[in-house]
Amino acid sequence: MTARPEIEAVTARIRERSRASREAYLERLDHAAGQAVHRSVLSCGNLAHGFAACGPTDKVALSGDRVPNLGIITAYNDMLSAHQPFEPYPNMIKEAARAAGGVAQVAGGVPAMCDGVTQGQPGMELSLFSRDVIAMAAAVGLSHNMFDAAVYLGVCDKIVPGLVIAALTFGHLPAVFIPAGPMTSGLPNDEKARIRQLYAEGKVDRAALLEAESKSYHGPGTCTFYGTANSNQMLMEIMGLHTPGSSFINPNTPLRDALTKEAAKRALAITALGNEFTPVGRMIDERSIVNGVVGLNATGGSTNHTMHLVAMAAAAGIKLTWDDIAEISDHVPLLARVYPNGLADVNHFNAAGGMGFLIRELLDDGYLHEDVRTIWGEGLRPYTVEAKLADDGTVARLPAPATSGNEKVLTTAAKPFQQTGGIRVLSGNLGKSIIKISAVKPEHRLIEAPAIIFHSQDEMQEAFKAGKLDRDFIAVIRFQGPKANGMPELHKLTPALGVLQDRGRRIALVTDGRMSGASGKVPAAIHVTPEALDGGMIGKLRDGDPMRLDAEKGTIEVLVDADELAARESAAPDLSANQFGMGRELFAGFRQLAGRADQGAAVF
């Protein structure tokens, strides 16, 4: 079954635009793949170092060339809930590999920072750049050239995109991504948001706030809202990098463990030593990337992926643009309502039918490319299933349910929540920006009001606490882009903005920074490009400038005469405070090299 003409047209445009870079990438991939089984090119001294710490059985196996060896790249740490469940995975993977006639070694670890811990803190200014550090750290682990395939253990915001960039850089190797799953449902996300707003207004104390937060984030696994972490898991499944039905199974359950062991065996099966060789750089192509963009829009996923998908595609020689994302959004219906796009969490989404139901609906209506390669084989149709635990402890798969288990959470393509996707690109005389339209109620999608200019989120917080913002306005928070301070998320502003909106004020946010994948109901034009420090028009705005944000029409404008704007000098704030402390001094080179948000904001 072919995709709809609108989807095919975008894919064809990406393919043509990427022809030269994609061909050069595939030439490099084929050259690397043609170097024989990689341990055969190592000297005896190289190889002895590579298996010196192995047990006798693995050492004998690795001394030859005919036993596949899995490299494990892990983002495990035991401070962060999403990554703590990875602790036993390496041993499970090693045991599964031995049972299948192979070997597995931990090739390396990568950092995994939590935006939830660093929100509003100096460490958040390292967050976006950690993606590229993760890619480089994974490359160091794989550079030992000991491996026939790699499995990647990562879940959260920058970790998965960084690992995908690394996997595609080593595209001659098969790559299987193994998730850890979401924590069980705790305090409902809308109740947590209500307590946050009460705290922002001074109506509850810190103890009440901490109690609510602790009941929401309460155990192992990803946070249950549909932010960047869970958008990552959706992407890995719809792009064919997970095993079918594995994304949203809770940690520390028999099914989760069975899926992990199965994934290790599948990685061994698709090496060059078997009959199903699936190098990830050839598996992921323009169709896979478009399928990811479709999934992002159909679920109202994280705005961060408007940067991450561009950077991930670039690692495979594929040139994805915001215009492509916008055009796909115009044609793809919204089929999921998960907080902040609704009241449900990802566990409710999974119970309603989850990824299998979603993929089937999108395939049957022609929104996805079915004729892709995945780690499971040919075609995306095998992903229209749900995973269950068989009586013998292995994974069984059943067809996804014919009807949604909860039509308020997951619906059909015939009855979408809205006719267009969850993310929209805004264009105008400020440049381009992104808005998560699916989280914003229709009555809040058009805002025309005067600008109030801030150069940090702390400035705006102070103005709110001082009672200076109880009016209609558009908050402009600039010098928050990659070159200025690493592009921290500004999610800490959400409670204050929510309070003002609930009071009936007409407000919006415009920034060259980011908002969390969890941010929602207040219209926010984010990732404004070019950023203020890169000569962007946002740097020329002044207090009181009339502005208009129209999320329906996809426009963002400052209503000031073009000649007057051109004659203005850009503001020049003191950014020295963003250059030191919490490791920020080590990232000066990253800030200098960072690309534009619409080009992936990468340092590569």
Six-digit token string for 194: 């209500």
Number of Cβ within 10 Å of residue 405's Cβ equals 15
**Residue pair 149/173 in contact by the 8 Å Cβ criterion:** yes
Helix count and strand count (H, E) for the chain: 23, 16
465: Cβ contacts below 8 Å, ≥ 6 apart: none
Helix, strand or coil, per DSSP, at residue 548: strand
Distance, in Å, from the CA atom of 306 to the CA atom of 141, rounded to the nearest integer, reads 28
Helix, strand or coil, per DSSP, at residue 149: strand
Q: What letter would DSSP give residue 368?
A: S
Beta strands at 395-399 and 507-511: parallel, antiparallel or unpaired: unpaired
* Nearest one of 320, 298, 280, 168 to 235, comparing CA atoms: 298
Q: Is 487 left (phi over 0), alpha (psi -120 to 50) or beta?
A: left
Phi, psi of 586 (to 5 degrees): -75, -15
* Nearest one of 341, 359, 368 to 401, comparing CA atoms: 359
Q: For residue 109, list its beta bridge partners.
A: 74
Beta strands at 507-511 and 473-477: parallel, antiparallel or unpaired: parallel
**Residue pair 185/191 in contact by the 8 Å Cβ criterion:** no
Six-digit token string for 362: 């999108």
Distance, in Å, from the CA atom of 355 to the CA atom of 386, rounded to the nearest integer, reads 8
Q: How far is CA 155 from the centre of its chain?
A: 9
Distance, in Å, from the CA atom of 542 to the CA atom of 539, rounded to the nearest integer, reads 9
Tell whether residue 223 is among the known ligand binding residues. Answer: yes
Tell whether residue 114 is among the known ligand binding residues. Answer: no
Q: What letter would DSSP give residue 243?
A: P
Which amino acids are annotated as binding site, given as ranges?
156, 223
Which amino acids are annotated as binding site for [4Fe-4S] cluster, given as ranges?
156, 223
